Amino acid sequence: MRGADLLVQTLAMAGVTKIFSLSGNQIMPVYDACFDAGIEIIHTRHEGAAVFMADAWAQLTGEIGIALVTAAPGAANAMGPLYSARQSESPVLLLTGDSPRGQDDKGAFQEFDQVPMTAPLTKMSIRAQSAATLGDTVALAIRTALSGRPGPVHVALPFDVVEADTGGVHVPAAASMVRQHHALAEEDLARLLEAMSKAKAPLVLCGPAMNDTRQGTVLTALRDALDAPVVAMESPRGLKDPSLGDFARALKQADLVVSLGKPVNFTLGFGAAAVCAAGCRWIVIDNEAAERDRAALNLGERLALVIDANPLDAAGQLMDAGEGGGARKGWCNEVAALIAARSYDISAPGADGKITSAQLAAAVQRQIEAANEAVLICDGGEFGQWAQAGANAADRIINGPSGAIGGGLCYALAARAGRPNATVFALMGDGTVGFHFAEFETAAREDLPFVAVIGNDTCWNAEHQIQLREYGEGRLIGCKLSDARYDQAVVALGGHGEYVTDLGDLDAALSRAVASGKVACVNIVIDGQPAPSGSAH
């Protein structure tokens, strides 16, 4: 058995059924091994796309997402999405080809030390040492990715390691690749419950890994058990996240904030006194020492208690120990109403008679509600904020705290692979769609249809709005885009296209796109208004 066979059989033992990959010389033995293991390779058009897809797969399935790319330039192309996966707390295993260990320092083809490049972006980065230990290396990587704060890991695969004989070693057991638990100590649980019992207006804040898409009803159950609002925050706009409405006002009223794995960073205004109520105390629960240290630095004397524990395990303990009771029902309802608040009027006409972003999002929402099962993908940028504010689904993926844009098409393709019976809607701007446009061809080739909805204002509107605000209308530069017919390009790549300039045509165009059974692009001309930002503007 080759190292490649041990690698792939280890992945299969972990429950892996799909790998997102772009081929290259050094990883061909791994491709060959996938035949016998029954693992499907979804072949992409860019290495970065493979990582974005693995990220979305992990978020929607709860499984490890696998991206497989070739050495040096292939690995380098994967770096940007690896950062996004780290910030989104997604368990992704990046496997990269590598030059042979036996040719180290000789100038082998694409010889490059990849570990120092990926280490700052991952929970663990390692170069495989031998064929015999490759299974254990991969098992450790998967366990690391899933445990604690989930996140990406990287294993470099030297060509001679994947080609060498393993010497008959066994495939690691599935039990060696599961999430490790790290619960609250009993005394910490008691102190936390005591603090909650004394609070009149507590808030529990969670990070991306604890959102409803990934954890189902956990946050609702936690809210009921603690009789307190529980809010997952996953947007780079933080307290200005338009999908959280006027949530910033709630933070200014809270007398206790429990950070359940939510980093106390720029998204929370660094926890400064200006964003909190006077006298508000904080409790931070996090299994990463760096995040506990950051909370202490930013909160100072406001930090009442810091606990080393896994947020998901802690949530389970709190659900078991909480008594509910409804005494804070009024506070819970007030926070829910603040989050639901929107500062815009959907019925307001657009500039020059154009469709508004709010109207577009409302039309997509009607499609979501009509579908038996739906997944919503919202990319970043100015239109992405409108999409996040105006549309929602039981399963949702956004661009995450990294603030990176461009992954929407890749997320959508993986979402369809992970939710084969769902209608997948991916909302993005005309700038965003250009990053990985070739993946429309991947979706058509792999028969993974979804509906890409482009809010087309012919500019990079987020940066355009910054220029208008900071420098004035006379100093606009570098943000203009053309009126390119993205819909027609998608038709040429094997998909379905719709072009919409009139609001009265929008619903029918979206319905045709859904009914086409193909990957579809609905290119919609909008008026390009600045995004809403709730009370934190």
In a domain, 345, yes or no: no
pLDDT tens column, 425-456 = 999 999 999 999 999 999 999 999 999 999 99
Q: What is the distance between the alpha carbons of residues 51 and 45, in angstroms, rounded to a whole number? A: 12
Q: What are phi and psi of 277, to 5 degrees?
A: -70, 150
pLDDT tens column, 209-252 = 999 999 999 999 999 999 999 999 999 999 999 999 999 999 99
pLDDT tens column, 309-331 = 999 999 999 999 988 888 999 99
In a domain, 322, yes or no: yes
Q: What is the distance between the alpha carbons of residues 80 and 188, in angstroms, rounded to a whole number? A: 38
Over the range 22-44, which residues count as b (16 or more CB within 10 Å of their CB) and which as e? bbbebbbbbbebbeebebebbeb
Mean pLDDT across 126-145: 98
Tell me, yes or no, whether 389 and 508 share the same domain: yes
Residues 6+ apart with CB under 8 A from 517: 449
Percent pLDDT > 90 in the chain is 94
* Residue 399, pLDDT score: 95
Tell me, yes or no, whether 333 and 305 share the same domain: yes
Domains identified in the chain, total number: 3
Q: What is the distance between the alpha carbons of residues 388 and 392, in angstroms, rounded to a whole number? A: 7
In a domain, 448, yes or no: yes
In a domain, 191, yes or no: yes
pTM score, whole prediction: 0.96
Tell me, yes or no, whether 332 and 247 share the same domain: yes
Tell me, yes or no, whether 326 and 370 share the same domain: no
CATH number at residue 529: 3.40.50.970
In a domain, 73, yes or no: yes
In a domain, 442, yes or no: yes
Is 367 within 8 Å of 513 (Cβ atoms)?
no
63, amino acid identity:
E
* Residue 532, pLDDT score: 87
String of DSSP letters for 172-237: PPGGGGSPPP-PPPHHHHHHHHHHHHH-SSEEEEE-GGGSHHHHTTHHHHHHHHHTS-EEE---TT
pLDDT tens column, 170-213 = 999 999 999 999 999 999 999 999 999 999 999 999 999 999 99
Q: What are phi and psi of 119, to 5 degrees?
A: -55, -45
Query: Encoding tokens for residue 129?
Result: 């040492």
The total of other beta-carbon atoms located within 10 Å of residue 502's CB is: 12
pLDDT tens column, 140-158 = 999 999 999 999 999 999 9
Tell me, yes or no, whether 52 and 169 share the same domain: yes
Tell me, yes or no, whether 406 and 327 share the same domain: no
Residue where a domain stops, chosen among 340, 371, 388: 340
Over the range 244-272, which residues count as b (16 or more CB within 10 Å of their CB) and which as e? bbbbbbbbbbbbbbbbbbbbbeebbbebe
Q: What is the mean pLDDT of the chain?
A: 95
Is 29 within 8 Å of 98 (Cβ atoms)?
no
Residues 6+ apart with CB under 8 A from 295: 259, 263, 264, 271, 282, 284, 286, 303, 306
Tell me, yes or no, whether 136 and 68 share the same domain: yes
Element (H, E) at 303: strand 303-307
Q: What is the distance between the alpha carbons of residues 87 and 311, in angstroms, rounded to a whole number? A: 16
Q: What is the distance between the alpha carbons of residues 514 and 511, in angstroms, rounded to a whole number? A: 5
Over the range 91-104, which residues count as b (16 or more CB within 10 Å of their CB) and which as e? bbbbbbbbbbbeee
Tell me, yes or no, whether 8 and 76 share the same domain: yes
> Does 82 or 532 have the greater pLDDT score?
82
* Residue 522, pLDDT score: 98
- 528: region left, alpha or beta (phi > 0 left; psi from -120 to 50 alpha): left
Q: What is the distance between the alpha carbons of residues 8 and 509, in angstroms, rounded to a whole number? A: 43
In a domain, 411, yes or no: yes
Nearest of 273, 253, 148, 126 to residue 209 by alpha carbon = 148
Query: Encoding tokens for residue 380?
Result: 């970043």
Tell me, yes or no, whether 330 and 380 share the same domain: no
Whether the per-residue pLDDT at 387 is higher than 60: the answer is yes
CATH number at residue 226: 3.40.50.1220
Q: What is the distance between the alpha carbons of residues 37 and 135, in angstroms, rounded to a whole number? A: 14
Q: Which domain holds residue 524?
A: 351-536
Q: What is the distance between the alpha carbons of residues 308 and 279, in angstroms, rounded to a whole number? A: 24
Tell me, yes or no, whether 271 and 402 share the same domain: no
Residue where a domain stops, chosen among 177, 201, 231: 177
In a domain, 346, yes or no: no
> Does 121 or 461 have the greater pLDDT score?
121
* Residue 534, pLDDT score: 62
Q: How sure is the predictor about 533, in pLDDT bands with cuts at 50, 70 and 90? A: confident
499, amino acid identity:
Y
Tell me, yes or no, whether 319 and 398 share the same domain: no
Residue where a domain stops, chosen among 177, 210, 234: 177
Is 388 within 8 Å of 242 (Cβ atoms)?
yes
Mean pLDDT across 353-369: 97
Mean pLDDT across 12-21: 97
Is 229 within 8 Å of 250 (Cβ atoms)?
yes
Q: How sure is the predictor about 537, in pLDDT bands with cuts at 50, 70 and 90? A: very low
Percent pLDDT > 70 in the chain is 99
Q: What is the distance between the alpha carbons of residues 23 and 128, in angstroms, rounded to a whole number? A: 19
Nearest of 45, 37, 43 to residue 16 by alpha carbon = 37
Nearest of 127, 335, 332 to residue 251 by alpha carbon = 335
Q: What is the distance between the alpha carbons of residues 7 and 233, in angstroms, rounded to a whole number? A: 36
Is 378 within 8 Å of 525 (Cβ atoms)?
no
Query: Encoding tokens for residue 180?
Result: 């490790």
Tell me, yes or no, whether 481 and 398 share the same domain: yes
pLDDT tens column, 66-76 = 999 999 999 99
